[in-house]
Structure 1
């Protein structure tokens, strides 16, 4: 049976103020749950039944608290039944599909901590400026009924407008349809508060935003700044000064160059706010490649901790002078090979992906990456892309080399306009582990076996692994995507609340090199994934296999839990290729809200064998093969 396509909501001409009133449920709530939600954010406790859920996701250093799960006085915002995206829908873009709006003085969100904490992150939304560009506001933090401080909030990096699903077609100019409504603010607190402390975010006098929407709070016990290793040389010795607002790029670049040339052994970034307005790279006297695209190599950069050693950029990349690739921007590091970076933060200043004038938000870490590169405990925010691993062969061919054996761990990538980490241009034998991603504007994690390589017959993205990661709230595209290649794996990841696309997708769009061998999806937990996109005419499953052109052979899906999907649990989508002999075993699919447990489209081709698959509470049937489909499903429960 073929589902009726969603009708596009016609709201053109309705003012934003009117849209904000949609789906508001006024009430005052006092939940029995004190508000701690480690349940579906990390290891230890499963939010949904089954042993596998307890094993999925990153071992996070913070505890997450949902606003709606605490005590609050305000307005509950909830998603509609189809979690419609892109029409100023706060509920659809909220974690757990609920958040709390505060409008009046004295309204608050409150919860009791389950662990000691000396830092806070607040995922929030405040209004945009009437002509765009964002506003600044505060909200008051109390702990144990004692005022602690005002937290600074900003909407500079949120609020994109347009009724197109093409990200380059969105704009910063206010209009009727808005998306990417939330951003995050963070602060180290003046002291550590023990478990059992009561945290309250409250609208006081002076907290004068038109409204505050609070989605969630992270509380973390941050360790003191690390001491400088004896072998490292501080960027202060090169003239960098923390916390003075002056550009420290020249000092950082000189230190990195000296390390690359063997003059020093390691670059040390002490605790402090360091301003960076140029990409760190290798100067190329031959000026090869557009925008002097030669990365650093044989370099080690260490910081005192991602909460302590923080680079920030004030100039939007499209307004920066000097070396400024339109995609790669004026901050972060361009890496060619054998580089170690750890325990720092990189905060960009992007506000758009495309849009007015083709502006871009920059890339935190980019380049060829080569061999020997390891990145750990790096926080990247407000970039176009967190990490883009791989450069086209055509860009300085004599320097080309794919990422091989790359290791990313403990990453914290938030609030981007495109991908979190993308392995492309032949990247192989590489991994992302124990990392967290929130509010990415394209795939949070991707393998793209692109054709822009030296030898398409051999330079295929292969044997890459995404393991033990927590992915939340991609506002566009997938939690995890694999486009072509072989031997790639997504294992033990927790993926929640995709706005419009699958939690995991295997696909042959974007013209990748072919799939071959085996692709494994194992031990993953997906919660509230899937959605409608492309004019709300295409409905995606929590896991979607899309053989757009070439075939997708060798698929294994096992030891997986799929809960509360917006549409189908597993979907085989119509395309020009086939998905032959997919093996699906030990899978639980519970509550497909607007779809089937497993669906094969009418244009899908291939086959799947189900073993020990349990499907419950599906709106449109457990296993559905649409009329005309050439897809065969064996072993249906």
Structure 2
């Protein structure tokens, strides 16, 4: 990397910070910002911390990424890139706001353990960050298509002092520390002091729990919970670490800690309910598990089982369990899950595996979950009337950010899903996993995705940032999608599929007011049949073309798209037998001689059954359009999508020798608006001879047109217009 390039990147980053009202601290001469900060967008949860990416901080380390390839460290990083440091190397963050704590998302080479040193304004803290690979490099061989994954973990530390905005916080590999680490990001927070014991509460220490020792506190907690319930009082957990080595049952009881930075429960399965009436309230503590592999039959979750009616889970920090919350064993009603941090789990962050009704999941932050971030699974009955609102989900590394599996009248609104990986997409709605099929109206409003969607390793094609799957059964419910914003999707932005490859239809979906900004392949990708309404969707930076509409199996009808007011995306991928590679940037202007009609919207005044207009620009010379027979004149019109300079038209018929020589008489016309047409080439006869490939071509002076039309008045070989390929060349 040249010094000029480094200085330019550093200047860009400094300019960005200055524009935000911040100052980039000056670091030693051998440090520089070596990458542009990844794109960020608004939306999702309101959190008490500020995140700073390593790659846009000062460092003498090495940039890793960007990369979207499954199974690489960079692919699981926020922004798909991080900074690798070795002995004596560091990442130096500039605080965007006052803070007294750091939480670092890091990766180590497999088998490494130790610490990383932390400096605040040049002074080394006595306590470092403990780091380990104990909870990473996970293998789930029973999940088809999975590879070793879950490369990052989190480690947190209180500074013991307050650092002002603009302070320099360095994470460094000193002598005696781990030999190498990849730093993804750091969260900085001004942590308030511990809460105090509320009135009318019973402390677990009154029942024998002792903080910060090696004893098992489970029985003391059990006794405190029983006493609090019988006396209609709360359970209080003071500051400190408490070890819970066997699961607790809880019902109709409140448990409150001194804060998620102050009270920590250590155990793989803290709460486990076979049944519960409800009114369970869990507030303000952390749960740290020791789950080193995913075993789906083990209830290694911070909360597992029944939660009942009217329960609340709020202000928890959950890390290194299998799942954060797995709610099952009976119906759940009017449950609130809010203001939690659920990170580095081996499987789901939160899953309502039950009949959940009228419940709310709001303002939670999920990161590095080993399956879905948030899932409502209508298992045994319909989840209904639930709301998933204003949550952030970052880097689920083996499934979706947010998923609705079946259900009725559920709402997903105001969420942000970012940097998803293999075997899933961003936001997902589907009839899957034997769920109660979708019914009523599912509402998805004002959600945002950033770098969401992935190459599915089983299908070997891209899954969309938003995708809908009729895998178990056809979808014939109302799905209303408004205000979607999809930014830098590596593959498709919006995706429809029957994941079982049987072509089950998707009906009742309407999309209105979506904004697509940068997409690797298609704005819309459909691989099944049905009817979808799309209106007022604006797109920019389209990687391949506007639409992929190739149903599987191939003998079923293509998806029908209705709607109006769309802009910035035109054309349909012409060859369903191949997949294009994603293009990370906006499409380039067509080069001279390129066929600008390929895959674009095409219409005809009439078609003979089985030979539609779309056959005339699909890139396949063996398929063809045939107009209504015995009804000259006929027209065939292609919309180039934008005004384009053109200078040649080439027409083809199938190259088979079964097609005898014929002459078609036609005029080539052009239009800027699709209403008024002028003559480009006057009427004349074009001869198609199988001996010379059944091709006719005509060049003309360069003209700028959006619509190009063939006006056909005669055919010596058949009483209809016939074209297998209608090519228009860019000038």
Shorter-chain TM-score bucket reads 0.7 to 0.9
Residue in structure 1 matched with residue 719 of structure 2 by the alignment: none
Give how far 1:90 is off. 1.1
Structure 1, 358-367 or 240-249: larger mean CA deviation:
358-367
1:351–1:477 CA distance, 2 compared to 1 (3 A):
same
Shift in Å at residue 537 of structure 1?
2.1
Q: How does 1:172-321 map to 2 (within 5 A)?
A: 178-207=148-177, 209-260=178-229, 262-263=230-231, 265-281=233-249, 296-313=250-267
Aligned to 2:531: 607
Deviation at 1:475, TM superposition (A): 0.6
Rounded to whole Å, the distance in 2 between the matches of 1:95 and 1:67 is 10
Q: CA deviation at 1:488?
A: 0.9
Per the alignment, residue 492 of structure 1 pairs with: 414
Q: Distance in 2 between matches of 1:162 and 1:263?
A: 46
Task: Return the alpha-carbon distance in structure 1 between the equivalents of residues 284 and 66 of structure 2.
Answer: 37
CA distance in 2, matches of 1:522, 1:151: 40
Q: Which residue of 2 aligns with 1:85?
A: 70
Measure how far apart 1:145 and its partner are: 1.3
| One of 102, 122, 138 as aligned partner of 1:120 | 102
Asked whether the 8 Å contact 1:164–1:535 carries over to 2, the reply is no
Could you tell me how far apart the structure 2 residues matched to 1:534 and 1:427 are? 32
Deviation at 1:163, TM superposition (A): 6.9
Q: Which residue does 2:280 correspond to in 1?
A: 339
* Cα distance, 1:257–1:37 mapped onto 2, change above 3 Å: farther
How many Å apart are 1:624 and its aligned residue? 2.7
**C-alpha distance 189-92 of structure 1, shift in aligned 2 (>3 A):** same
Distance 1:137 1:36, change over 3 A: farther
Paired residues of 1:75 and 1:100 also in contact (CA < 8 A): yes
State the aligned residue count: 531
Q: 1:589 aligns with which of 503, 516, 521?
A: 516
2:332 to 403, 408, 411: 403
Q: Of the candidates 441, 451, 464, which is equivalent to residue 528 of structure 1?
A: 451
User: Which residue is 1:503 aligned to?
Assistant: 426
Output one character per residue of 1:384-420: Cα deviation in whole Å (capped at 9) or x when no partner.
11111121xxxxxxxxx40000001101101111111
Aligned partner of 1:572 in structure 2 is 496
- How far the C-alpha of 1:431 sits from its partner, in A, is 0.9
2-side partners of 1:77 and 1:165: how far apart? 28
User: Which whole-Å deviations, capped at 9, do the CAs of 1:493-514 have from their partners, x for residues lacking one?
Assistant: 0110001221111111201111
What is the CA distance between 1:48 and its match in structure 2? 6.3
Verify the 8 A CA contact 1:515 1:551 in the aligned structure 2: no
Is the contact between residue 352 and residue 359 of structure 1 (CA under 8 Å) also seen in structure 2?
no
**Structure 1, residues 123-143: CA drift from partner, whole Å, max 9, x if none?**
0011222xxxxx421111111
Deviations 1:549-605 (A, max 9, x none): 223321111111001111100011135432213110110112111x2011111xx12
Match of 1:33 in 2: 13
In structure 1, what is the equivalent of residue 81 of structure 2?
A: 98
Deviations 1:294-329 (A, max 9, x none): xx211010111011110013xxxxxxxxxxxxxxx5
Shift of 1:32: 4.3
The aligned counterpart of 2:560 is 632
The residue number in structure 2 matching 1:16 is none
Deviation at 1:626, TM superposition (A): 2.0
Aligned residue number for residue 323 of structure 1: none
Partner in structure 2 of residue 13 of structure 1: none
Superposed displacement of residue 164, structure 1: 6.7
- Given the alignment of the two structures, is residue 482 of structure 1 paired with residue 377 of structure 2, yes or no? no
Q: Superposed, which structure 2 residues align to 1:92-171 within 5 Å?
A: 92-103=75-86, 105-129=87-111, 135-149=112-126, 150-161=128-139, 165-166=143-144
Q: Secondary structure at the match of 1:33?
A: helix
Structure-2 change in CA distance of 1:366 and 1:115 (3 Å): same
> Are 2:302 and 1:373 equivalent residues in the alignment?
no
Superposed CA deviations along residues 66-116 of structure 1, whole A, max 9, x for unmatched, are 000111111111133xx1112xx111010000100012x221111211111
User: Partners of 2:208 and 2:11 in 1: how far apart?
Assistant: 53
Conservation of the 8 A alpha-carbon contact between 1:352 and 1:361: no
Query: RMSD of the TM alignment (CA)?
Result: 2.4
Q: Which residue of 1 aligns with 2:440?
A: 517
CA distance in 1, matches of 2:99, 2:271: 29
The 2-side partners of 1:597 and 1:632 are apart by 15
CA contact (8 A) 2:120 2:169 kept: yes
- SS for the counterpart of 2:222 is helix
Take 2:294 and 2:461, find their aligned partners in 1: how far apart are those partners? Answer: 23
Q: What secondary structure is seen at the aligned counterpart in 2 of 1:228?
A: coil
Cα gap change, 1:538/1:347 in structure 2, threshold over 3 Å: closer, same or farther?
Answer: same
For 2:293, the equivalent position in structure 1 comes to 352
Residues 37 and 64, structure 1, Cα contact 8 Å, conserved in 2: no
Q: Shift in Å at residue 487 of structure 1?
A: 0.8
2:385 matched to which residue of 1? 463
Given that 2:269 and 2:304 are in contact with CA atoms closer than 8 Å, whether structure 1 keeps it comes out as no
- Is 1:36–1:63's contact at 8 Å kept on the other side of the alignment? no
Residue in structure 2 matched with residue 292 of structure 1 by the alignment: none
Give the secondary-structure state (helix, strand or coil) at the position aligned to 1:92.
Answer: helix
TM-score in terms of structure 1 length: 0.79
Q: Aligned pair 1:60/2:47, yes or no?
A: yes
Give 3-state SS (helix, strand or coil) of 2:261's partner: coil
Residues 549 and 359 from structure 1, CA distance in 2 versus in 1: closer, same or farther, beyond 3 angstroms?
Answer: closer
Q: Quote how far apart the aligned CAs of 1:369 are.
A: 1.1
Worse-matched range after superposition: 371-380 or 329-338 = 329-338
Distance 1:245 1:536, change over 3 A: farther
Change (3 A) 1:330 1:492: closer
Quote how far apart the aligned CAs of 1:264 are.
Answer: 5.4
Do the aligned partners of 1:37 and 1:66 also contact (CA within 8 Å) in 2? no
Residue 36 to residue 340, structure 1, CA distance change in 2 (3 Å): farther
Contact kept, 8 Å, 1:597 with 1:616, in 2: the verdict is no
Q: How far apart, in 2, do the equivalents of 1:268 and 1:99 lie?
A: 40
Equivalent position SS for 2:223: helix
The yes-or-no answer on 1:437 pairing with 2:391 is no
Q: C-alpha separation between the residues in 1 aligned to 2:243 and 2:336?
A: 27
Larger Rg: 2
Residue of structure 2 equivalent to 1:23? none
Asked which structure has the greater RCO (Cα within 8 Å, sep 6+), the reply is 1
Gaps of 5+ in 2: 21-36, 568-731
Report if the CA contact (8 A) 2:38-2:79 is conserved: no
